[in-house]
Structure 1
Amino acid sequence: MDRETRGGGWVYIMADRYRGTMYVGVTSDMPTRVSQYRAGTGSEFCARYGLNRLVWAEHCGSIDAAIAHEKRIKRWRREWKFGLIEKANPDWDDLLNRVLG
């Protein structure tokens, strides 16, 4: 995971628990976006299913690259997403502080 927070965009996965419900998204402002999810205002889907844990994130050099990467990941099978998350975060810990570190 890249720790750079300025410029470009982030592709991320939110979850409610280990191998639970997931949401793949893209943003240019990770701290604000995760704060919105935690306040229940990020998206109806995340609010409905209690997705407030950032379990995976990757910084891309441009927002266009981030959007393209998000679209690819959204088409992946569920097990492939599990593998992506668990390669970097085997315990599905909340990574917001680590990403922004």
Structure 2
Amino acid sequence: MHQNYYIYIMTNRWHTVFYVGVTNSLVGRAWQHKNKIAKSFTKKYNINQLVYYEHFDNIEVAIMREKQLKKYSRLKKVIMINKFNPEWKDLFTES
């Protein structure tokens, strides 16, 4: 059975804080972050804009990539986001 997995980066409206996560439901997870469903880092820092994501067919590969991105410097994340989403649009509202 084919599965979809995503790593994603979310930020606040000032782009001062990033959150890197992995999920099998990008739309559902972005909605949870936006609506502050759980007490979490994203709720505390008002992280509610989806600005980057990558798709994977394999959860192990997705988790490895998530761990890699979490080690990236802020500058490296900004460069990735700029290439993928130059206007830093909230991709959740674009879906």
* 2:64 equivalent in structure 1: 68
* 1:46 equivalent in structure 2: 42
TM-score by length of 1: 0.84
Q: 1:84 to 1:33 in 2, by over 3 A?
A: same
TM-score by length of 2: 0.89
Residue 80 of structure 2 is aligned to residue 84 of structure 1: yes
* Aligned-residue RMSD, C-alpha: 1.6
The answer (yes or no) to whether the contact 2:36–2:43 under 8 Å persists in 1 is yes
Q: Aligned equivalents of 2:61 and 2:54: distance in 1?
A: 11
Q: Any gaps of 5 or more consecutive residues in structure 2?
A: none
Residue 4 of structure 2 is aligned to residue 8 of structure 1: yes
Corresponding letter in the other structure for 1:13:
I
How many matched pairs? 94
Q: Any gaps of 5 or more consecutive residues in structure 1?
A: 1-5
Q: 1:81 to 1:42 in 2, by over 3 A?
A: farther
Greater relative contact order, per chain length (Cα 8 Å cut-off, separation 6+): 1
**Segments of 4+ in structure 1 off by > 3 A?**
none
Give the superposition deviation at 1:19. 3.4
Q: 1:14 to 1:21 in 2, by over 3 A?
A: same
- Any idea what SS the aligned residue of 2:16 has? coil
- Any idea what SS the aligned residue of 1:55 has? strand
Deviations 1:28-61 (A, max 9, x none): 0111101111110255100011111000001012
Identical aligned pairs, as a percentage?
35
Give the superposition deviation at 1:90. 1.4
Residue 90 of structure 2 is aligned to residue 94 of structure 1: yes
Give the superposition deviation at 1:96. 2.0
